Amino acid sequence: MAWFKKVRKPIEPQAKKESRVPEGLWVKCPSCNEAIYNKDLVATLNVCPKCAHHFRLGSAERLRMLFDGDWEEYDAGLRSVDPLQFVDTKPYAKRLETTIESTGMQDAVLCATGRIDGIETSVAAMEYAFIGGSMGVVVGEKITRAIERAIERQLPVVIVASSGGARMMEGALSLMQMAKISAALARLDRARLPYISVLTDPTTGGVTASFAMLGDLNIAEPKALIGFAGPRVIEQTIRQKLPEGFQRSEFLLERGMLDLVVDRRELKAAIARALRFGLPQDGPARSPRPAVTAAEPAPQP
Ligand SMILES: [Zn+2]
């Protein structure tokens, strides 16, 4: 039996003051607290003009940033079929449906060919807004096709990763995409075509554990979270405090996990330079790998 009864009503929360500024016109930078006019942010490629904080960039904006002009999109209609009839907090089929509606995309990657500083390139850009940029069967198939298209047409490949990892709702099928994409990249390597991996915030899980770290050049954006398991999980497992800046681009560059950390505003120029360097030039370099001649002595074990 309750001895005391609460007679008074609980304090009501204050009514929200109505803002006179329309929603979405200003963005507050989480790093320096500067209020930035949304249109200015578009002009600076979603980078804070004051402190260079890199906001996330959607896949379409990413292609707009990389390509000189128009691009041709491929496999835009591929769609997951929910093979496991998976249900978590809501059915996967339902989740797909609402995400497709809100993003206007069928899955979490956009694949296209176009010119980067005049160099025809096959690009796959991941979309974080689509179920955390998770890699399911469709993402795997689309990226694999983008690589195969590059081999067929002798083009270099650029993949922009932005992903929480494999898509849990597709179970083991999503994990298989790691091997599938990696195998396609091995074929690209045999065709002597360059692959540049661009790691953006965040690149984690199965994506880091496969294609995002397999680039001939692995380029990251500043302060991007890049890792396999999240820092909280690691801390709980090893029961140690993690060092400052752990799993961020600069930390990984210092330890040799990355080749470059490049500001987004200079990224296109850096990629173009690397592609020029990596692509076979017209001339003797164009010839296939030299075969080992019979006269050459066999290597001794
Ligand atoms: Zn800022």
What is the tens place of the pLDDT at every residue in 34-75? 999 999 999 999 999 999 999 999 999 999 999 999 999 999
Q: Hey, what are 73's tokens?
A: 């999109």
Between CA 196 and CA 218 the distance in angstroms is 6
Parallel, antiparallel, or unpaired for β 217-220 and 26-28?
unpaired
Q: Is residue 19 pLDDT above 60, yes or no?
A: no
What Å distances lie between residue 171 and 137, 145, 162, CA to CA?
10, 22, 20
What Å distances lie between residue 281 and 114, 218, 277, 284, 287, CA to CA?
19, 22, 9, 8, 10
Residue reference for tokens 């995400």: 99
Q: Say which residue, 177 or 16, is predicted with more confidence.
A: 177
In contact, 223 and 48? CB cutoff 8 Å: no
Q: Is residue 286 pLDDT above 50, yes or no?
A: no
Grade residue 14 by pLDDT with cuts at 50, 70 and 90: low
Q: Is residue 281 pLDDT above 60, yes or no?
A: yes
**HEC profile for 100-162?**
HHHHCCCCCEEEEEEEECCEEEEEEEECCCCHHHCECHHHHHHHHHHHHHHHHHCCCEEEEEE
Query: Could you tell me the distance, in angstroms and rounded to a whole number, from the CA of residue 36 to the centre of ligand 1?
Result: 8
Mean pLDDT of 184-203: 97
Please name every residue paired with 125 in a beta bridge, in sequence order, or none if there are none. 110, 160
Burial class (CB in 10 A: 0-12, 13-18, 19+), 146: buried
Q: Which pLDDT value is given to residue 3?
A: 72
In contact, 112 and 63? CB cutoff 8 Å: yes
- Size (the chain), residues: 301
Q: Is residue 282 pLDDT above 50, yes or no?
A: yes
Query: Could you tell me the distance, in angstroms and rounded to a whole number, from the CA of residue 35 to the centre of ligand 1?
Result: 8
Which of 54-68, 195-209, 282-296 is least confident? 282-296
Grade residue 280 by pLDDT with cuts at 50, 70 and 90: confident
Q: Which pLDDT value is given to residue 288?
A: 47
Q: Hey, what are 21's tokens?
A: 């500024």
Q: Say which residue, 298 or 212, is predicted with more confidence.
A: 212
Query: Could you tell me the distance, in angstroms and rounded to a whole number, from the CA of residue 57 to the centre of ligand 1?
Result: 15
Mean of all residue pLDDT scores within the chain: 90
Query: Could you tell me the distance, in angstroms and rounded to a whole number, from the CA of residue 115 to the centre of ligand 1?
Result: 31
Per-residue pLDDT tens digits for 211-228 = 999 999 999 999 999 999
Q: Is residue 85 pLDDT above 60, yes or no?
A: yes
Between CA 120 and CA 122 the distance in angstroms is 7
Query: Could you tell me the distance, in angstroms and rounded to a whole number, from the CA of residue 50 to the centre of ligand 1?
Result: 5
Residue reference for tokens 């590059």: 150
Mean pLDDT of 251-273: 97
Query: Could you tell me the distance, in angstroms and rounded to a whole number, from the CA of residue 54 to the centre of ligand 1?
Result: 8
Q: Is residue 283 pLDDT above 50, yes or no?
A: no
Q: Is residue 7 pLDDT above 50, yes or no?
A: yes
Query: Could you tell me the distance, in angstroms and rounded to a whole number, from the CA of residue 301 to the centre of ligand 1?
Result: 57
Q: Is residue 285 pLDDT above 50, yes or no?
A: no
Q: Which pLDDT value is given to residue 105?
A: 97
Grade residue 81 by pLDDT with cuts at 50, 70 and 90: very high
DSSP H or E run through 27: strand 26-28
Peptide bond preceding 156: is omega within 30 degrees of 0, i.e. cis? no
Main-chain dihedrals φ then ψ at residue 236, nearest 5 degrees: -70, -30
Query: Could you tell me the distance, in angstroms and rounded to a whole number, from the CA of residue 203 to the centre of ligand 1?
Result: 22
User: Of 186, 211, 162, which Cα lies nearest the Cα of 56?
Assistant: 162
Per-residue pLDDT tens digits for 106-130 = 999 999 999 999 999 999 999 999 9
Q: What is the pTM of this model?
A: 0.85
Q: Is residue 20 pLDDT above 80, yes or no?
A: no
Query: Could you tell me the distance, in angstroms and rounded to a whole number, from the CA of residue 38 to the centre of ligand 1?
Result: 13
